[in-house]
Amino acid sequence: MQNRMMITGAGSGLGREIALRWAREGWQLALSDVSEPGLQETLKLVREAGGDGFIQRCDVRDYSQLTAFAQACEVKFGGIDIIVNNAGVASGGFFSELSLEDWDWQIAINLMGVVKGCKAFLPLLEQSKGKIINIASMAALMQGPAMSNYNVAKAGVVALSESLLIELAQQEVGVHVVCPSFFQTNLLDSFRGPTPAMKAQVGKLLESSPITAADIADYIYKQVAAGEFMILPHEQGRMAWAIKQKNPQLLYSEMTAMAEKMRAKAKQNNG
C-alpha cells in the first residue's frame, strides 16, 4: 500500500468526509465529482488536514471519463490502492408514480456508476492488491416504501460487492460495502421524485439524524482496517438487519404499515 485513494462524489457530503479522514493519515487523494467548485473546496480542506492530491471532474455515467480518471491516477500517483465508489443521487416516490426515466437515471448513477468505477480501476487495483469500497445504503437491505428505484439500485451495489468479494479474493483485492442509514448530508440537492411532500419527509429524516457524515467516515476507516466486508455505521441499522435476518416477515409488516401511513399523509396534504 502506497496510500493512494480515489473517491467519486468527493465534492461534498460523505465523499468529502472520507477524503478528510484518510487525508489526516497523510494519504494522496484523487478526487472526482460533477461539481468543480465542490472539488476545489474538498482539495483545499484535504491539504489543510495533512493530505494532498488532485481533482478531476467526472460523471460516473460516462465510462470514458472514469477510464481517463484511472489513467490520471496512474500518471500522477503511479497507481491506486483504494477506490471509493461514492457518487450517488436520491429519489423517492411510490412505484406507480415513478417514471421509467426516474428508473433509468437512478440505475445509471447509483448502480452502473459503481459498476463502471470498479471496471475502470480494476487493472490498477490488481497491480497494487488494493481495496474497493462501495457506498450502498441501508435501503439496499431494508427496502423502505416509496423508494423502489433507489432500493433496487443500492441492492445491486450490495450484490455487486458480494460478487467481487468472491471473485477477486484470489487476486488479493479486498472489497467492502457500506450501508449507512439516514445521516446529515446534502443528498437532497440531487433529489428527484414525483411529490414535494416526499422530498420534505426525506429531508426531515436526514436532518434529525444524530450521526454526521464525518462520524460515518471515521467508522468506515476503522472497519476497513479491521477487514469487515459489510459495514453498517448506524446501530439502529445493525439492529434492523439482525431482525430481518431472523424474521423477515416482521420487517415486511412494519414497512407495509409505514407505507400505509405515508399514503394517508400524502392524501391529507393533497386534500
CB–CB of 87/33 below 8 Å?
A: yes
CB–CB of 61/110 below 8 Å?
A: no
Q: Report pLDDT for 239.
A: 86
Q: Report pLDDT for 238.
A: 87
243 located within any domain: no
Q: Report pLDDT for 188.
A: 45
Q: Report pLDDT for 183.
A: 47
Identify the CA nearest to 203 among candidates 217, 216, 186, 215: 186
252 located within any domain: no
**How many other CB atoms are there within 10 angstroms of residue 161's CB atom?**
25
263 located within any domain: no
Q: Report pLDDT for 187.
A: 43
Q: Report pLDDT for 107.
A: 98
Question: Scanning the structure block, which residue is given the C-alpha cell 448530508?
Answer: 185
242 located within any domain: no
Domain of 133, in residue numbers: 4-236
266 located within any domain: no
CATH number at residue 231: 3.40.50.720
- The number of domains in the chain is 1
* Rounded CA separation 231/164 (Å): 16
Q: What is the dihedral of CA 64, 65, 69, 75, to 10 degrees?
A: 60
**Amino acid in the structure at residue 6:** M
251 located within any domain: no
* Rounded CA separation 173/170 (Å): 8
192 located within any domain: yes
Per-residue pLDDT of the chain in tens (271 residues, 90 and over written 9): 789 999 999 999 999 999 999 999 999 999 999 999 999 999 999 999 999 999 999 999 999 999 999 999 999 999 999 999 999 998 889 999 999 999 999 999 999 999 999 999 999 999 999 999 999 999 999 888 899 999 999 999 999 999 999 999 999 999 999 999 864 444 445 545 555 555 555 555 545 667 889 999 999 999 999 999 999 998 888 888 888 899 899 888 888 888 898 898 888 888 7
Q: Report pLDDT for 184.
A: 43
Q: DSSP code of 125?
A: H
CB–CB of 178/134 below 8 Å?
A: yes
Q: What's the grid cell of residue 240?
A: 434492523
Q: Report pLDDT for 32.
A: 98
Within 8 A by CB and 6+ apart from 16, the residues are: 10, 38, 41, 42, 45, 213
Q: What's the grid cell of residue 247?
A: 424474521
Enter the pTM of the model. Answer: 0.91
Active site residues: 150
Q: At what angle do helices 63-77 and 112-128 cross, to 10 degrees?
A: 30
165 located within any domain: yes
Question: Can you point out the beta strands (E) in the chain?
Answer: 4-7, 28-33, 52-57, 82-85, 131-135, 174-178, 230-231
